[in-house]
Structure 1
């Protein structure tokens, strides 16, 4: 006897797929054309060495770049990036991917982040920003914050290049600021 997938509406399948952990959603996409379409709109991309585990043998930047290229960018609400040896040219394109797609949550861990207005443009929908073990200067952080008008929560942890913190007056929504172990601040 052959099992078949129930005939459910596409939006319900898309919702079910979005609730799956990222690794399971990616594996389902490898098995089914329908799930491949859903993968291209998967809302929570966690692209860290720990999340991807054994898949990250070799060049981390190239692997993560391949995953981002295979995603349409539509529907991404959360983007988590973290790896020790991220190439600068990849990182800038990943951030433009985030800006282009109205990202709400951005988490950057264990890398250097050198934002400029020319590269980034505005983060119109960014509500939560988490920077852990990130090399970013005070001026670079100020540039990022001044282009993130919807920011509600800022979390800085071990960002030791930050010497001072200027919160732009445009950040009317900012209600939670967490700073820990930023030794030079």
Structure 2
């Protein structure tokens, strides 16, 4: 019977589970076995206006310490620590990990930020054992780490790194044994110069890269079954895709992205069905596209008109449009409605123009 109660209890959000524990001793016993820990301002009931910024870190720390102290050493399924007022002198994060990161943990989310701008040095040694083998979802933000070759994420299916101090080689040590990886998102990981996605990641389907700096130069993808790719950055990067790669959805946003696709048509785009291209500056005339998007159904062209040269010939986009004979939807942002109509040339296609753009 107790096992049934524990299972039902595990389905509750953490704050509801904590409230239920106040009702009876039976619920309290179940609370001590609660496997899903989410520590953030909301679940811990911390109000910034009532305690002020100076007391937030101490209040947060005291509550987490109290919860983990009264919790027996049982398996944790999910651990989430999201705190925007992180203070290394007050927060006992290392001890929290020691208590909560146990073999069998499946999801780990750590998002920290502080006024000092210092990154929390994530203790990868805790995952260099059975705990790492069970991780399915890993989400880290504003952390620094030096992963070792001992790491093995054989169950990892989703990886999200945001503003993490990590190099391309260090990321490679994470991906080395991550054979089950299906989704990966990298945001503002500005130490990566060359991003390499190896061939053994045969389960990888989704890759999103957001480059907030100017360090990333090259993206090399060998994962054979990647079907959804997105890159957003402030500068052009060199893209290299393995032979036989066939994208279904492809998003590219950087200065000159449209010219890049038209001039250097990638064989990986022959089967693309959903294509989005964004740019804040282009050549005066978009190069003529000689290949065809025979499977393309949805095309989104986003031009940041405020930065575009007034001499740019929007009609040069006709080549891109004519290369898509089976197009069903055309969305053109940053382009005047009259220019969209000229490019559309009377074809029976649903199209939109940015409402902020003058006619």
Shift of 1:94: 1.8
Alpha-carbon distance in structure 1 between the residues aligned to 2:190 and 2:37: 30
Contact 2:127 2:151 in 1 (8 A): no
Displacement of 1:116 in angstroms is 4.4
Counterparts in 2 of 1:55 and 1:67: CA distance versus 1, 3 Å: farther
* Alpha-carbon contact 2:76-2:101 (below 8 Å) kept: no
Q: Match of 1:27, SS?
A: helix
Matched, 1:94 2:96: yes
Contact kept in structure 2, 1:115 and 1:144, CA below 8 Å: no
Residue 24 (structure 2) pairs with residue 32 (structure 1) = yes
Partner of 1:63: 63
Which ranges in structure 1 are unaligned for 5 or more consecutive residues?
Answer: 1-8
Partner in structure 2 of residue 182 of structure 1: 189
Cα pair 1:157 1:181 within 8 Å, conserved? yes
TM-score (norm 2): 0.43
TM-aligned CA distance change 1:125 to 1:26, over 3 Å = same
Q: Could you tell me how far 1:179 is from its partner in structure 2? A: 0.9
| Superposed CA RMSD | 2.6
Aligned to 2:162: 157
Q: Secondary structure at the match of 1:109?
A: strand
Matched length = 171
Q: Which runs of 5+ in 2 are unaligned?
A: 114-119, 193-359
What does the per-residue CA deviation read over 1:118-158, in whole Å, with 9 as the maximum and x for residues that have no partner?
A: x55422311110012x2214xx2x33982433322111122
1:74 correspondence with 2:74: yes
Matches of 1:61 and 1:145, distance apart in 2? 31
The 3 A distance-change label for structure 1 pair 169 and 158 is closer
TM-score (norm 1): 0.77
Kindly indicate which of the two structures has a greater share of residues assigned to helix: 1
Residue deviations 1:15-61 (CA, integer Å, cap 9, x gap) = 33222221121111122110111001112110112332327854122
Find the counterpart in structure 2 of residue 143 from structure 1.
148
Moved more, 53-62 or 94-103: 53-62
Q: Does 1:108 align with 2:97?
A: no
Superposed displacement of residue 62, structure 1: 2.6
Question: 2:178 — aligned with what?
Answer: 171
Q: Which residue of the partner structure matches residue 6 of structure 1?
A: none
Give the Å deviation of 1:11.
3.2
- Structure number with higher relative contact order (C-alpha < 8 Å, ≥ 6 residues apart): 1
Paired with 1:179 and 1:13, the residues of 2 have a C-alpha distance of 39
Deviations 1:92-126 (A, max 9, x none): 22222233342110000115133243x55422311
